Amino acid sequence: MANCLILVGIVFAFLCSSAVFGTQVSHDGRAILIDGQRRVLFSGSIHYPRSTPEMWPDLIKKAKEGGLDAIETYVFWNAHEPQRRQYNFEGNLDLVRFMKEIQNAGLYAILRIGPYVCAEWNYGGLPAWLRQIPGLQMRTNNQPFKDEMQNFVTLIVNMVKQESLLAPQGGPIIITQIENEYGNIQWPYGDAGKQYINWCAQLAESYQIDVPWIMCQQPDAPQPMINTCNGFYCDSFEPNNSTSPKLWTENWTGWFKAWDKPDPHRLAEDLAFSVARFFQSGGTLQNYYMYHGGTNFGRTTGGPYITTTYDYDAPLDEYGNIRQPKWGHLKNLHDAIKKMEKALIYGFANTTELGNGLSVTKFSDNGVVPGCILANKNKTDDATLDFEGANYSLPAWSVSVLPDCKQEVYNTAKINVQTSIMVKKSNQAEAEPTNLIWSWKPENLSEALHGDAADFTINMLKDQILASVDASDYLWYITSVNLSQTQQMRLQVNTTGHILHAFINGDLIGSEYAPNGRFSFVFEKEVVIQGGVNIISLLSATVGLKNYGAYYELMPAGIVGGPVKLIGNYNNTIDLSGNTWSYKVGLDGEKKQLYLDYSNSSWHTEGRLPKMSPFTWYKVKFHYNLD
């Protein structure tokens, strides 16, 4: 009997300890609560597919040293489910490993499942195969779409549950997101949009995962979804419900880069100003988008015309180096704000506007040591502010943090960290050319140019996204025309872009791309069409599929509908649009996976490297030194 009692006692103790093992996450109208305590939280976006698993521990460590409490990431549906019900969670798509690295570093995670993500990611993260499902309309109250979305979201939720990655299970995930900025584009969807967002909320709730769900940029987010702010400044944002705390999911640390455009920059001072103003005005959690931007590997970049670099001018540069003074200036800001954490979220805020953009906020009472934030929103005038018997100098557009209301420990415009400029140096021991070992090989165009071996044939010009299902950036449209005699004619191709290369009888006659910001253009070229059969091969290429906007997924690409015409003398026109067109998806080198070919066989290595030579595969080998 005594033994029995001891056993019961042990079982009871075990049950109790397992019940308190995890972290409880909740919220009130003021803050996110971790184990019942209101918290100020700093978070930063690091998207796992934009770096390598080998880089993750170092990036996360640098984020922690920079004063972050959490790492935020999206989940990338079209990368994980490239074909319907065929999944990939390997390599830099190993979401679970990434979450565990965050956990090992002792940080929290914010998981933005979407599964629409925007993110300058190809097609905004939605798989192109969705377009093949009859009757499917994306991101609206449409059953086929909701079924697919539910299938993927459920897969991710089950995966993180199974791996005990949710905070209440002892894991790092404290917040989860459904959809992304739907509120920005909801209007054209009308009632169906509203029904869709309600459905998203119900779906999220149905998982009962006991961490708060957020919806960013969603002013009508149904309770208990917390609507959050994205932008360069979010101090004037107010959540749509008094029970929701003020959260900032995307503070843009810079911006993404587009081909042909300059590198975007945001000053560390301005970034720090925006953060300090957010906490002055009642914020509780702020996330840097991006903390590490990284690289758009392979064909993952959105678009059109977004670059492979996703550096973003973030506190960690594309390669994971600390970018100063941004990283250090923010670290100091985090330290300063954390010094007055209790005052900020438990004290009562009392703001006095002093005119000319000056304001003082004192957080006091409710048992806290008072803390103060002073702001000068004036963009041109520096100011001296008299406050509680002392003078404070506030440069224009700056905020000072006084954790004890007496001493300024931080001002957003006064940088006290090293400023460094990264210089790329070639290896001194080896000259550049031997450092990089180049080889090259021409793309095998023969099948496409001779009209052989099509993937499929139809009597129309089809949208490139529908025809290729995003298996490649490249799509060949091939047809023939039979003339009784040789003629000088003009080939005219109306295309929705993004790039067109035109060949007649095996010869490249011209190439063109959609000019800046446009999605369509007309290609025209004078050509000689021979008497007899002529083969016209048009290679259309996309440079990242669109990722943003209402109905963005319906934006066509390629020579959809054309028309494609041959225009002769006296406007004698042959419309080829309704011809029989053969389609070939992708390049020959892609099919052969030349990018994985580490051999030297059949690659050219001798002589001068061909430059400005289209349809050439280049391969380079290089030595990588860690020091």
In whole angstroms, the minimum distance from the beta carbon of 231 to ligand GAL comes to: 8
Of positions 148, 181, 235, 341, contacts ligand GAL by CB under 6 A: 181
Of positions 120, 317, 341, 588, contacts ligand GAL by CB under 6 A: 120
Of residues 250, 269, 318, 553, which has the active-site annotation?
Answer: 250
How does DSSP classify residue 586? S
d(CA 52, CA 423): 23
Q: How far is CA 507 from the centre of its chain?
A: 40
- Is the Cβ of residue 256 or residue 392 nearer to ligand GAL in the bound state? 256
Part in contact with ligand GAL (CB under 6 A); list of ranges 47-55, 89-97, 118-126, 507-515: 118-126
Of positions 51, 137, 176, 180, contacts ligand GAL by CB under 6 A: 180
- Is the Cβ of residue 239 or residue 254 nearer to ligand GAL in the bound state? 254
Residue 119 sits in the site that holds ligand GAL (CB under 6 A): yes
Q: Tell me the residue ranges of DSSP E strands in 461-571.
A: 474-483, 487-495, 499-504, 507-513, 521-529, 532-541, 564-567
Whether the CB-CB separation of 40 and 180 falls below 8 Å is answered with no
Position 541, amino acid? A
The residue behind tokens 């925006």 is 274
Instruction: Verify whether residue 181 is a known catalytic residue.
Output: yes
In whole angstroms, the minimum distance from the beta carbon of 77 to ligand GAL comes to: 13
In whole angstroms, the minimum distance from the beta carbon of 480 to ligand GAL comes to: 43
HSE-up of 104 (CA within 13 Å, CB side)?
12
d(CA 218, CA 114): 13
d(CA 81, CA 133): 15
How does DSSP classify residue 325? T
Part in contact with ligand GAL (CB under 6 A); list of ranges 50-58, 114-122, 405-413, 562-570: 114-122
Q: Give the DSSP H or E segment for 155.
A: helix 143-162
Torsion of CA 330, 331, 332, 338, to 10 degrees: 110
In whole angstroms, the minimum distance from the beta carbon of 261 to ligand GAL comes to: 14
Pick the closest to residue 247 from 267, 261, 226 (CA basis): 226
d(CA 159, CA 171): 12
Part in contact with ligand GAL (CB under 6 A); list of ranges 90-98, 111-119, 257-265, 398-406: 111-119
d(CA 326, CA 267): 8
- Name the residue with the smallest CB distance to ligand GAL: 118
In whole angstroms, the minimum distance from the beta carbon of 91 to ligand GAL comes to: 22
Whether the CB-CB separation of 501 and 511 falls below 8 Å is answered with yes
In whole angstroms, the minimum distance from the beta carbon of 548 to ligand GAL comes to: 6
From residue 488 to residue 527, the character string flagging contacts with ligand GAL as x (rule: CB under 6 A) and all else as - is ----------------------------------------
- Is the Cβ of residue 117 or residue 214 nearer to ligand GAL in the bound state? 117
Residues 249-268 that bind ligand GAL (CB under 6 A): 250, 256
d(CA 157, CA 149): 12
- Token pair in block for residue 168: 């209440």
- Is the Cβ of residue 45 or residue 400 nearer to ligand GAL in the bound state? 45
Part in contact with ligand GAL (CB under 6 A); list of ranges 7-15, 91-99, 116-124, 410-418: 116-124
Pick the closest to residue 294 from 449, 62, 126 (CA basis): 62
- Is the Cβ of residue 121 or residue 513 nearer to ligand GAL in the bound state? 121
- Is the Cβ of residue 120 or residue 311 nearer to ligand GAL in the bound state? 120
Residue 78 sits in the site that holds ligand GAL (CB under 6 A): no
Whether the CB-CB separation of 323 and 317 falls below 8 Å is answered with yes
Whether the CB-CB separation of 60 and 131 falls below 8 Å is answered with no
Count of residues of this chain found to bind ligand GAL when the rule CB under 6 A is applied: 9
From residue 135 to residue 174, the character string flagging contacts with ligand GAL as x (rule: CB under 6 A) and all else as - is ----------------------------------------
Of residues 181, 269, 318, 341, which has the active-site annotation?
Answer: 181
- Is the Cβ of residue 296 or residue 359 nearer to ligand GAL in the bound state? 296
In whole angstroms, the minimum distance from the beta carbon of 117 to ligand GAL comes to: 6
Pick the closest to residue 276 from 198, 361, 219 (CA basis): 361
In whole angstroms, the minimum distance from the beta carbon of 118 to ligand GAL comes to: 3
HSE-up of 151 (CA within 13 Å, CB side)?
14
In whole angstroms, the minimum distance from the beta carbon of 120 to ligand GAL comes to: 5
In a 3-state reduction of DSSP, which class is residue 19? helix
In whole angstroms, the minimum distance from the beta carbon of 293 to ligand GAL comes to: 9
Of positions 40, 71, 118, 539, contacts ligand GAL by CB under 6 A: 118
Whether the CB-CB separation of 152 and 115 falls below 8 Å is answered with yes
Beta bridge partners of residue 506, listed in sequence order: none
Instruction: Verify whether residue 250 is a known catalytic residue.
Output: yes
In whole angstroms, the minimum distance from the beta carbon of 289 to ligand GAL comes to: 6
- Is the Cβ of residue 463 or residue 553 nearer to ligand GAL in the bound state? 553
- Is the Cβ of residue 180 or residue 398 nearer to ligand GAL in the bound state? 180
Residues in contact with 454: Cβ distance below 8 Å, sequence separation at least 6, in sequence order: 478, 582, 583, 584
Pick the closest to residue 333 from 414, 267, 262 (CA basis): 414
Three-state secondary structure readout of 237-263: CCCCCCCCCEEEEEEECCCCCECCCCC
Part in contact with ligand GAL (CB under 6 A); list of ranges 117-125, 207-215, 575-583, 597-605: 117-125
- Is the Cβ of residue 207 or residue 256 nearer to ligand GAL in the bound state? 256
Residue 43 sits in the site that holds ligand GAL (CB under 6 A): no
- Is the Cβ of residue 182 or residue 503 nearer to ligand GAL in the bound state? 182
Position 340, amino acid? M
Part in contact with ligand GAL (CB under 6 A); list of ranges 112-120, 325-333, 335-343, 481-489: 112-120
Residues 224-243 that bind ligand GAL (CB under 6 A): 230
Residues in contact with 523: Cβ distance below 8 Å, sequence separation at least 6, in sequence order: 491, 492, 493, 495, 500, 502, 510, 512
Whether the CB-CB separation of 497 and 304 falls below 8 Å is answered with yes
Q: Which residues are catalytic?
A: 181, 250
Using CB under 6 A, list all residues that contact ligand GAL: 117-120, 180-181, 230, 250, 256
